[in-house]
Structure 1
Amino acid sequence: MTTGGITGLVLTLALLLVVIAAIQPLARRLGLASNVLLAAVGVAIGALAAFLLFTSFTDVFNEAARAVVYLRIDSQTIITVFLPLLLFQTALTIDVRRLLDDIAPILLLAVVAVVVTTAAIGLGLSAIFGVPILGCLLLGAIVATTDPAAVVAIFRDIGAPARLTRLVEGESLLNDATAIALFSVLMAALVTARATGVEEPGSAMLLDAANDLAVGLIGGAVFGLVVGRLVVAGLLLLDDIKAAEATLTLAGAYIIFVVGEYTLGVSGVVAAVVAGLVVSALGRSHVAPENWRHLLNVWEQIAFWAGSMIFVLAALIVPRLMEDVDIYDILTIATLALLALIGRALTLWLLLPVLSMLRLSARVSHSYRAVILWGGLRGAVTLVLALGVVEAPGLSDGLKRFVAVTATGYVLFTLFINGTTLRPLISWLGLDRLSPVGEVLRRQVLALSLTDVRGAVEDAGRRYDVSPTVVREVAQSYARRAEQVSSDTDIETEIADRERLGVGLVALAVRERGLILDLHERRTLSTATVDRLLRLTEALLEGGRNEGRLGYMRVVRTALDFEHGFRVAYWLHRRMRIDRPLARRLANRFEMLLAFRLSIQELRPYVDERIRPMLGRRIAELIADMLDGRARQVAGALDAMRLQYPDYAEALERRFLARMAERHELARYDALAEEGLLDAELHDDLRRGVTAAEARRDALPRLDLGLDTNELMRRLPLFVELGDDMRARVRQLLRPVFVLPRSVIFRAGDKGDGVYFISSGAVEVRIEDRRIRLGRGDFFGEMALLDNRPRSAEIAALGYCQLLFLDAGDFRRLIGGDADLLHKFETIAKARAAQNRSAAT
């Protein structure tokens, strides 16, 4: 491209950006989705440019018109440059955990609905108009992908339900991947069929197409998952530099798409979507909250430019694609619109209810389904894919025109008919109105807020010496409004306790998530702990929302249990003598319990300050009791670990306070710089001093399990009386073992494999319905060895235990060479047998 050509292209794109900027406030004032207005303006610009260039009306604007008409950016360039950005940003901003709540209906809409709609369009158009089936299926795949931008913008503007927005946004994100992958497979099949002279697809061709589609989707998902995790790992290496983090994710989006699509032969669209979801799910816990907000803001701006530009560029080619439209074309477009509605309706009303019957999804109401059906707007991706067919070599001109005209006409139909009538439809169905519970809560919030504003007005008046008459006038206006709203609201009688409790528990979980993110901001918690705590707050939120008190407390109990990873680490310790994974898990648990304690302490005043005025005294007291019970459970678990590892507990607390002090110090320097009391050089120097000290500090103290055999033996009276030689011999035979609370050490009926000595902790002996506790200095498991019988009882740890294990063979050799030691074991064994018989009677 010449220098002049580059200059013209850049100038044209810059002018289009000016148009895009001007359209945003205009769309807001007209109450239209910006994409609808962008499409109208883009089509108008393209038509006007063609008119000015190819008529003799005037030659003044020929150069500008020629730049628009001959703006040659092909479909492949548009897809490669803009599509990865749009897909990655949409996935990045989706709350993956909330998405998973409705993953079954979203996948049904994003995958099954695309296939059903493609089939309905392909079979219907082929039967009605006699077009070859492969061409009709290709058209079906092109128009099966929906554009979320306009619909979601309307939803958010009018306050549509969050679940409806989530369903439409999730479908639009994932069906792009399905539709584009299906388009690629059908395009390849069509080119192959035309080259071989085959008009109709045979079973072998269909099987190959299905196989290619499955490989593309699955391969893209796996590739996206792997590279997404690599991007997250890379973010940890960038020293919290915001610009570097944003740059890495931008590069990652392109690398994932291009390598997947053009090198590995898998779906780059699927790879980009999955990678974005992975970064979204893990990024909040791996990236500092302030940096994460910056990252989302950068991507929001990038996606706005990319989405608007791709829409305008696609709209500019509409006049070119819609040349010489006749009544036959209009009839074809109308038929396509009807078939597309039928295909989506089949999925929504026949297949979607099956998910509810199988308990795979909560029920989707008829009003939701009606909006999803009518809200399936098509946009830039459909236009770009249609342009790709026009540019494809090896296809007939008739097929190219059929696909281009029909697809483009259908896009315009959905934007200007569906898009402009969607808002009235939502309003008519009542989906823009608050529920009765929401309306009462709104009045309660309004009353409390107006009262707070009144107090703020009075304080400001005194502080700034405003005329008392003016202050009284303004304050009384708020007081009258608050009194009027309060008189219409009695939250304790209008909303049932169960519903108010659910609202309170959701608010509590949201507040706790904010507290966890605050701790993350201070670099107080490790990444693994932040990730688990964020998952926990999501579980608390869902438990409180769906099951109330029982659901919330069930999650609380689960949170204090040991995860599956603990079991694996414990097995490695017991069987393979690998201690590091267990020590790391225990350290993370210690840190998690400490974070629990800190957040619960902050939540208690929140109940009094926010929940009590909002939801009433009874609900506040109930939530406070739940928090107190949770605090006692956390304190018990934390105290057990403190007793086991007091030095480690102190190290964690010291680290927490130091991190908090550093955050306060940095904030102080920033405030002074903003006030102009510190110049830039001094401010940077002070910050470097703090960050250097922060960098020298270990991320997390290492937890020593304390399994030194010598130290453990000193705690056992049984071995204190042994001579030095015998003690040294025993020390070589003993193996240290760490046991988690509630872990079963062995069960009744097991083969006696050795004896256990309790160096610290306590265990419970369970013989039928009897319970006997043993503590430090005791031992167990010897009776099965002395009597040569299976274990007669089950032994479980009551807390964290440090044991010493002596193998059965070593035990027999040891007591065989020391009569006194044998006598001690036999005496204790007889006493225990007598105790068991006494307990049985």
Structure 2
Amino acid sequence: MRVSPAVDGPYRVAILWGGLRGAVTLALALAVTESVSVPGEIKRVVGILATGFTLFTLIVQGATLRTVIGWLGLDRLSPMDQALSRQVVAVALQTVREDVARTSENYELSRDIVRSEAKRFGKRLDKAVKTAEESVDILERDRVTLGLVALAGHERDTILARMRERTISARMADQVLSDADRLIEGAQSQGRRGYQLAARRSVAYGRAFRAAVWLHSRLHLSGPLARMTADRFEFLLSQRLILRDLNVFIHGRIRRIHGRQVADVLHDLLSRRIEAVETALEGLRLQYPGYADQLERRFIRRTALRLEEREYTTMLEDGLIGSEVFTDLMKALGDRRAAAEQRPRLLIAPQRAELVGQFPLFADLDEAALKRLGGALRTRYANAGEVIIRKTSVVKSVFFIASGAVELQSAGQSWRLGGGEMFGQMAILMQKPRRAEARAIAPSTLLTLDEERFRQLLDGSEALRKAVRASAEKRGIDPGTLLSDDPEDV
């Protein structure tokens, strides 16, 4: 695995020729000549060789480096950059012509002068457009790569602007900037594929998160998981905010330079990123329903404070308020901002014994039944993306979601379930096999119950029977094929 992009041959030659190593040579030579254990004749030879080598690097290599760079062609744009430059000139001149026309109209300049200058400018524009159209040096895949690099660069600039506005917290700054840098590096080194790999990595659950899940599930240490889950919530909300602004850049800038086809490709890639972020965020919302609402409220408060600060600054610049009043206003604003910066605490779901009693499905069971059920249930942990039920598998258990989120897919339809809901019951209760797949879309804690005990539980719980009917109706299945009003008929 490369730790840096590959260096082209001409650049390697230039680096080798321009690597003036005289200072290093002299330092090593001095280490030899100052040693008492080295014979004097050897010291003299080393000193002469070091001096000669240093003079050669300074006089020969240093004086000819510019010539070598020119000979290698490194002082000129590549054919692709030259073609891009011609196209950028054409797009820029088109924009300039529109702006000049508006300016001339606003200031009511002489029509003869405007017409004369417009004709002169039009000739230059026509020439630039013709030159750009005749250029065939940029392949379509190269245009996509250039567009992705520009898009990732604009994303980084947008992040920095959001940080200055304090829309993105300092806590998230390093992570979102690091992801933007990986997008740029991926697009530069591998084009579309590198960009997509970097994009997928930004929303994936890493090893550290899996380790935090293991600590929580095995050792009951919930601190690391709570902190990392809260960070992920905030990161996904920040990323969604940034990504939705990028379509304007694609349509307004990249499309004019690289054409409609490249812009459509970039729109498609960006749409996939937005969908991945929305899916990851939806998984967390299902897992912790109220926490995303708290973070969004915090975002609105911080945005309001930023706009309030802008109004005070504008009033100061316009002379409507003095510096003393401005200082007092900003002090009060700073206090409110410090309160708004505090991130709400995320509470991780309790353990199995407590979870069983919190399921609405088991609301009508007495304490003894809940205790027996708690002993019968088995805990299973699933990472995001893990397939829990495959379409080809025979389902022998019902799954209750203690925490996390699961996506079901069947007959071209999909449903997302969160904490307190169940799945797998349709495959057990239907008269015919049901080809469905269940996949975790967030790290999930599942409680499983085998078929026999599930049927026994169904006989004694009206709340569970109602939940099964509601689930069947939601998926377009006739509840009569699953249950009857008489539990003995199940």
TM-score range, shorter chain: 0.7 to 0.9
Amino acid at match of 1:628: S
Verify the 8 A CA contact 1:734 1:804 in the aligned structure 2: no
Q: What residue is the counterpart of 1:566 in the other structure?
A: 209
Instruction: Report the Cα distance in structure 2 between the residues aligned to 1:510 and 1:543, rounded to whole angstroms.
Output: 12
1:490 alignment counterpart: 133
- Equivalent residues in 2 for 1:395-544, closer than 5 Å: 403=46, 406-460=49-103, 477-490=120-133, 494-525=137-168, 529-544=172-187
Superposed CA deviations along residues 787-821 of structure 1, whole A, max 9, x for unmatched, are xxxxxxx996544486575899xxx9xx9xxx976
- Amino acid aligned to 1:101: S
- How many Å apart are 1:614 and its aligned residue? 0.1
- In structure 2, distance between residues paired with 1:803 and 1:571: 11
In the TM superposition, what is the alpha-carbon distance from 1:448 to its structure 2 partner?
1.8
1:100 aligns with 2:100: no
Shifted more, 416-425 versus 726-735: the winner is: 726-735
2:474 paired residue number: none
Structure 1 counterpart of 2:357? 713
Q: How far is 1:388 from its partner?
A: 6.5
Q: Distance in 2 between matches of 1:764 and 1:485?
A: 53
In the TM superposition, what is the alpha-carbon distance from 1:679 to its structure 2 partner?
5.5
Contact in 2 for aligned 1:510/1:541 (Cα 8 Å): yes
Q: Tell me, yes or no, if the aligned pair for 2:283 and 2:404 is still in contact at 8 Å.
A: no
RMSD: 4.9
Report the AA paired with residue 100 of structure 1: V
- Percent identity at matched positions? 38
Corresponding residue for residue 292 of structure 2: 649
Structure-to-structure mapping, 1:632-647, within 5 angstroms: 632-647=275-290
Q: Find 2:339's aligned residue among 685, 692, 696.
A: 696
1:602 paired residue number: 245
Once residues 64 and 146 of structure 2 are traced to their aligned partners in structure 1, the CA distance between those partners, rounded to angstroms, is 34
Listed one character per residue, the Cα deviations across residues 481-502 of structure 1 (whole Å, up to 9, x for unaligned) are 2221111111785532222112
CA contact (8 A) 1:759 1:801 kept: no
Q: Which of 201, 226, 238 is 1:583 aligned to?
A: 226
Residue 738 of structure 1 contacts residue 802 of structure 1 at CA under 8 Å; is this kept in 2? yes
- Paired with 2:445 and 2:29, the residues of 1 have a C-alpha distance of 71
Q: CA deviation at 1:515?
A: 2.0
Q: State the Cα distance separating 1:470 from its structure 2 match.
A: 5.9
- Cα deviation digits, residues 378-418 of structure 1 (max 9, x gap): 35555566667677777777666655554345334322322
Deviation at 1:428, TM superposition (A): 1.8
Q: Distance in 2 between matches of 1:684 and 1:393?
A: 69
Alignment coverage as a number of residue pairs: 449
Q: How far, CA to CA, are the matches of 2:323 and 2:36 in structure 1?
A: 60
- Which position in structure 2 is the counterpart of 1:743? 386
More helix by share: 1
C-alpha contact 1:450 1:479 (8 A) present in aligned 2: no
Code of the aligned partner of 1:553: Q
1:136-157 CA-partner distances (Å, limit 9, x unpaired): xxxxxxxxxxxxxxxxxxxxxx
CA distance 1:432–1:392, shift in 2 (3 Å): same
Alpha-carbon distance, 1:610 to partner: 0.5
Q: Deviations over 1:810-836 (max 9, x none)?
A: xx9xx9xxx9769769xx9xxxxx99x
**In the superposition, relative to structure 1, how do residues 733 and 528 fare at CA in structure 2: closer, same or farther (>3 Å)?**
farther
Task: Give the drift of 1:377.
Answer: 1.6
Of Structure 1 and Structure 2, the greater strand share is in 2
Structure 1 SS opposite 2:305: helix
Contact 2:182 2:198 in 1 (8 A): yes
Task: Tell me which residue corresponds to 1:300.
Answer: none
Q: What 5-or-longer segments of structure 1 have no aligned partner?
A: 1-96, 103-361, 748-753, 782-793, 829-833, 836-841
Distance 1:363 1:394, change over 3 A: closer
Residue by residue over 1:74-99, the C-alpha shift from the partner in whole angstroms, topping out at 9 and shown as x without a partner, is: xxxxxxxxxxxxxxxxxxxxxxx9x9
Matches within 5 A, 1:613-628: 613-628=256-271
**How much has 1:446 moved relative to structure 2?**
1.2
Would the aligned equivalents of 2:384 and 2:444 in 1 still touch at CA under 8 Å?
no
State the secondary structure of the residue aligned to 2:217.
helix
Asked if 1:593 corresponds to 2:240, the answer is no
Kept in 2, the 8 Å contact 1:759–1:802? The answer is yes
Listed one character per residue, the Cα deviations across residues 645-674 of structure 1 (whole Å, up to 9, x for unaligned) are 342112222222333333444455555556
Higher gyration radius (CA): 1
Task: Point out where structure 2 has 5 or more consecutive residues left out of the alignment.
Answer: 391-396, 426-435, 466-480, 483-490
For the 8 Å contact 2:388–2:440, the answer to whether it is kept is no
- Provide the TM-score with structure 1 as the length reference: 0.45
Normalising by structure 2, what TM-score?
A: 0.72
Q: CA deviation at 1:460?
A: 4.8
After superposition, the Cα gap between the structure-2 partners of 1:407 and 1:707, relative to the gap in structure 1 and judged at 3 Å, is: same
